[in-house]
Structure 1
Amino acid sequence: MLRNRICVPHNASENDDSYVGATKAALEAIEPTLSAATFSSSPTVKSTSYKIVMRGSSSTQKFWVERTSAGVLKFECEKAGTGGCPKNGSSTKASWAT
């Protein structure tokens, strides 16, 4: 997941500082090891924000990296206390990095 955090800004630097165009294929071109990752869906990208959701080793767990248009980075997961998602939030969501 942190590789995505690095790849998306790199992609933006080549696209007039816009995150638009940060597709799975574009990110894999920057970081080939992402081809082994399981993206839950296509990255959601806008000019000043993005959200990338990936599945954990358990197909029921999701992790995501999000950058809001205000520049806030979020590292969250879906099921707190299971599948590598820490139990530091609600029962339905937690933060996995700071």
Structure 2
Amino acid sequence: MAKRLIPLFNRVLVEKIVSPSKTNAGILLPEKSSKLNSGKVVAVGPGIHGKDGKLVPLAVKEGDTVLLPEYGGTEVKLDHKEYFLYRDDDILGTLHD
């Protein structure tokens, strides 16, 4: 049975998108040539309560593709897959086609 992690408060569970290490023609790409440090949002927490007591929802939702900081996040392994937990305000933005 697969485990499912539901983040608490303003946390976001992200699966990083790994860019290919070589082209379709078989040319190896250097590590620094990867496009962006991005990931797919897998799960989000409910948000945090503001000073007025009202729930402040997160800026991202499940399924969003997000731009991540170069460093940070807490690594979590579930069912042999690697995920990262970030705070909502650590995520730099959302990516759209």
- Do they fold alike, i.e. is TM over 0.5? no
Range into which the TM-score falls when normalised by the shorter chain: under 0.3
User: Over alpha carbons, which structure has the higher Rg?
Assistant: 2
Q: Which has the higher helix share?
A: 1
Ranked by relative contact order (alpha carbons within 8 Å, sequence separation 6 or more), the top structure is: 2
Q: Which has the higher strand share?
A: 2
Structure 2 length normalisation: TM-score?
Answer: 0.25
